[in-house]
């Protein structure tokens, strides 16, 4: 009887009467085999569906509420809900396997709801959920908000950036997200551009180091597991170098600038394993980036061997036809982008149907669809979504804003804040008994920056709160609200001036507002560009009135782009560039003001004297300032790499391991750094290289190495850098990588300004 039953079971398995578990559902199988097996089981429509992303339903509900009564003509930046598609219809699409990804889902509850619907589909393919977790998962209420990327770049500390990535990934997974659209590794060359604060600054080497650190932090070793997420390096390419400083405007840059300045961070990101890449809003030299085969296929996939997938930016496939006008209609736009190398559409309808038609017509090869769908599925397998599509809804309470993450947010803010000027007023002396604080950014959440939604007040320490907490006992702190960065009333300015006269010192917090939930007050951030970089509104008048009091005035800048504060800097006793320092920004600022923490941040971007100096960057060509401006200085107001300390450092004894090397040899550069002041502190030692004579023009100097060094009072340390042959390489007249024999100047110091650098000659034969 046993043998008879065994034979029957074997017969049923062989005939298909008893279904076998599909190979793609076996977690023991290699990801590559699982992807191949699943693709074989999928219809064309199911494959294309993986390439389709939609906005989360709760986000749509909120968008609909805000836009109620309006009839949007299209799914645009202002209205992220879908005309003609009800919420129930979208849920039905998910349960039928017609949606591959969502973005802007901010709770574990909604994430689980979408995954439950996906589990009802024929193949039970989970949803990949993306979110703009740019500096922490700040679009989620209660998550830890770290300093913005430009702030983090001011630390010159890739290790802390990597830690922020690790912590962000954990909070994302706890709230149901698996993919973040960061890091932004655009090179910021125009301070008018509203997204400067979302980047790591102006320098290719620094941006590369910080971008790679963030990718590693977010993705872990191989982007495998339930506590890592997929990163997305963006925006390919040139958005920070548009012709007029406007987001999405045309970018016209030379092939040399493209390859030497803008592309290296992307190459490094690909080499670091970044699994996704987002293309840019703008056109590049006449070709929309979303239809640029040279970038997406020839460079990324063929030349660099990129193994992940490419996602469009918000509604930019549509703009190939509606804005750039290189396609006659949406179908042709879809054709251009997919044939160029695009893998996923962000966001909404209008992509699946035309793409399926194009495949059936033979215009888009099926191999393109298999590649795109396969890579998206690979991400889902690697991230463990097939085994664990749901998230414990109680986990967020344990992970979000926990003690470890709060400490990391505070430490990163401490290291990021840059002291620009100090006429011996800081740290505040014990004789200071009365402090007056005012300014539009003194007591609100503007310190959080862009890509943050409203956070619990208990999570955010404002500048006023920080000063009151850290001030010594017996110190009187008076605060006067002054309005917003756009509007400060004249009577408030007069009142502030009077109060400043009665105080020992005044602290004024000015700058910008990047908060995306305050649309009427927003002055910086995505799509918020300016025609000048002066202090907006009556902020300069407020500062002037305070200085007229005759008492010392400390200016604190809370902003996301360099601001021209030339006149304000002349008369203020101290200037602090805080950027947007996150949840604990107010505490970190206060600790620096009272000397609890020694400032150590360095500028990752030059601060121009005026709008007319744009673009201003330290690694200019030799002829850049051959002639001078007739009425003003040509140099930056504050140089790249600059930042003061409460102690002093001496950098000397610069030595080369060899004075002459071959083109294939590395060279070691050593120096000593001594804390010659009266306070422990950190110094950022920076190494720059200049090629003295070359076949094509080279920058006057280029950052090639940096190291943050902690030194006790009176302590000396030796710092060692190794320069590889790559450090001296550039593109020759034929755009081929070359190292030319000749003299090189090695410069070591604590800013890019010549007066702060010690020099030594190196000969390459």
Q: Which residues are catalytic?
A: 313
* Rounded-to-integer distance, Cα 746 and Cα 762, Å: 7
Q: Which of 177, 73, 556, 188 is nearest to 385 (CA)?
A: 177
CA angle 312, 314, 318 (to 5 degrees): 75
Residue with tokens 């110094």: 683
CB within 8 Å of 520: residues ≥ 6 apart = none
Is there a cis peptide before residue 235, judged by omega within 30 degrees of 0?
yes
* Rounded-to-integer distance, Cα 652 and Cα 234, Å: 39
Q: Which of 446, 536, 549, 466 is nearest to 503 (CA)?
A: 549
Q: Give SS3 for 92.
A: helix
Is there a cis peptide before residue 146, judged by omega within 30 degrees of 0?
no
* Rounded-to-integer distance, Cα 278 and Cα 540, Å: 38
- 3-class DSSP string for 573-636: CEEEECCCCCCCHHHHHHHHHCCCCCCCCCCCCCECCCHHHCCCCCCCCCCCCCCCCCCCCCCC
* Rounded-to-integer distance, Cα 278 and Cα 280, Å: 7
User: Tokens standing for 609?
Assistant: 């004297």
* Rounded-to-integer distance, Cα 508 and Cα 524, Å: 20
* Rounded-to-integer distance, Cα 314 and Cα 76, Å: 8
Residue with tokens 């849920």: 91
User: Tokens standing for 146?
Assistant: 């770290």
> Can you spell out the DSSP letters for 535-586?
PPTTHHHHHHHHHTTSS-EEEEEE-SS--B-HHHHHH-SEEEE-----TTHH
Beta bridge partners of 504: none
* Rounded-to-integer distance, Cα 430 and Cα 249, Å: 52
State in Å, rounded, how far the first CA of the chain is from the last one.
87
* Rounded-to-integer distance, Cα 3 and Cα 18, Å: 18
CB within 8 Å of 619: residues ≥ 6 apart = 203, 699, 700, 701, 702, 703, 752
Q: What backbone phi and psi angles, to 5 degrees, belong to 223?
A: 55, 40
For 653-658, the CB contacts below 8 A with 24+ separation are 654/746, 654/748, 654/758, 654/759, 654/760, 655/760, 656/746, 656/760, 656/762
User: Tokens standing for 593?
Assistant: 């003001």
Q: Which of 160, 161, 212 is nearest to 185 (CA)?
A: 212
Q: Which of 420, 413, 421 is nearest to 157 (CA)?
A: 413
H or E stretch covering 717 = strand 716-723
Strands, E assignment, 439-485: 476-480
HSE at residue 203, side-chain half, CA atoms within 13 A, is 29
H or E stretch covering 436 = strand 434-438
* Rounded-to-integer distance, Cα 53 and Cα 105, Å: 12
* Rounded-to-integer distance, Cα 382 and Cα 178, Å: 11
DSSP-assigned letter for residue 146: P
């Amino acid at each position: 009887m046993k043998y008879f039953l065994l034979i029957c079971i074997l017969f049923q398995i062989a005939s298909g009467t008893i279904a076998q578990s599909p190979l793609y559902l076996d977690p023991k199988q290699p990801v590559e085999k699982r992807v191949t097996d699943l693709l074989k089981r999928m219809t064309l429509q199911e494959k294309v569906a993986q390439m389709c992303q939609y906005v989360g339903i709760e986000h749509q509900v909120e968008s609909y509420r805000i836009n109620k009564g309006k009839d949007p003509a299209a799914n645009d930046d202002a209205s992220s809900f879908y005309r003609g598609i009800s919420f129930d219809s979208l849920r039905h699409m998910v349960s039928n396997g017609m949606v591959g990804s969502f973005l802007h889902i901010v709770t574990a509850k909604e994430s689980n709801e979408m995954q439950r619907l996906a589990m009802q589909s024929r193949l039970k393919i989970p949803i990949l959920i993306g979110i703009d977790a740019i500096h922490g998962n700040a679009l989620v209420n209660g998550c830890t908000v770290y300093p913005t990327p430009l702030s983090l770049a001011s630390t010159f500390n890739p290790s802390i950036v990597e830690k922020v990535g690790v912590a962000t990934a954990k909070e994302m997974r706890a709230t149901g997200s698996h993919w973040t659209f960061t890091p932004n590794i655009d090179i910021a060359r125009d301070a008018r551009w509203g997204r400067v604060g979302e980047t790591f600054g102006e320098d290719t080497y620094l941006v590369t180091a910080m971008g790679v650190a963030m990718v590693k932090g977010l993705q872990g070793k191989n982007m495998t597991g339930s506590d890592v997420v997929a990163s997305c390096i963006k925006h390919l390419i040139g958005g920070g170098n548009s012709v007029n400083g406007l987001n999405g405007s045309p970018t016209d840059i030379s092939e040399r600038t493209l390859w030497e300045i803008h592309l290296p961070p992307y190459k490094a990101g690909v080499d670091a394993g970044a699994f996704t890449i987002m293309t840019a809003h703008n056109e590049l030299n006449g070709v929309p980036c979303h239809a640029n085969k040279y970038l997406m296929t020839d460079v990324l996939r063929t030349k660099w061997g990129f193994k992940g997938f490419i996602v469009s930016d918000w509604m930019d496939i549509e703009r190939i036809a509606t804005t750039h006008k290189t396609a006659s209609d949406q179908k042709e736009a879809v054709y251009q982008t997919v044939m160029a190398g695009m893998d996923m559409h962000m966001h909404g309808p209008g992509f699946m149907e035309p793409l399926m038609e194009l495949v059936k017509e033979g215009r888009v090869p099926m191999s393109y669809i298999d590649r795109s769908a396969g890579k998206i599925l690979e991400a889902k397998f690697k991230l463990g979504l097939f085994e664990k599509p749901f998230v414990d809804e109680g986990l967020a309470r344990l992970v979000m804003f926990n003690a470890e993450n709060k400490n990391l947010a505070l430490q990163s803010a401490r290291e990021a804040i840059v002291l620009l000027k100090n006429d011996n007023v800081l740290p505040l002396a014990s004789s200071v008994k009365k402090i007056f604080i005012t300014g539009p950014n003194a007591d609100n959440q503007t310190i959080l920056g862009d890509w943050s939604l409203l956070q619990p007040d208990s999570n955010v320490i404002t500048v006023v709160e920080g000063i009151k907490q850290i001030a010594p006992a017996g110190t009187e702190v008076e605060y006067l609200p002054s309005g917003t960065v756009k509007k400060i009333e004249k009577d408030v300015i007069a009142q502030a001036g009077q109060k400043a006269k009665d105080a020992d010192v005044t602290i004024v917090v000015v700058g910008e507002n990047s908060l995306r939930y305050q649309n009427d007050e927003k002055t910086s951030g995505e799509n918020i560009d300016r025609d000048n970089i002066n202090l907006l509104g009556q902020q300069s008048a407020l500062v002037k009135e305070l200085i007229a009091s005759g008492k010392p005035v400390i200016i604190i800048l809370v902003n996301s782009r360099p601001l021209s504060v030339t006149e304000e800097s002349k008369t203020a006793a101290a200037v602090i560039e805080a950027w947007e320092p996150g949840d604990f920004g107010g505490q970190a600022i206060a600790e620096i003001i009272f000397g609890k923490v020694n400032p150590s941040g360095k500028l990752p971007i030059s601060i121009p004297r005026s709008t007319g100096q744009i673009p201003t960057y330290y690694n200019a060509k030799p002829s850049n300032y051959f002639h001078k401006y007739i009425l003003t200085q040509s140099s930056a107001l504050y140089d790249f790499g600059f930042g003061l300390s409460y102690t002093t450092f001496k950098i000397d004894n610069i030595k080369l391991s060899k004075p002459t090397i071959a083109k294939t040899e590395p060279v070691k550069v050593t120096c000593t750094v001594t804390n010659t002041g009266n306070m422990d502190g950190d110094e950022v030692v920076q190494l720059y290289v200049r090629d003295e004579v070359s076949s094509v023009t080279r920058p006057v100097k280029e950052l090639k190495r940096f190291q943050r060094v902690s030194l006790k009072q009176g302590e000396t340390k030796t710092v060692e850098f190794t320069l590889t042959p790559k450090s001296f390489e550039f593109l020759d007249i034929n755009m081929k990588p070359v190292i030319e024999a000749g003299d090189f100047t090695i410069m070591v110091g604590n800013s890019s300004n010549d007066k702060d650098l010690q020099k030594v000659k190196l000969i390459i034969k």
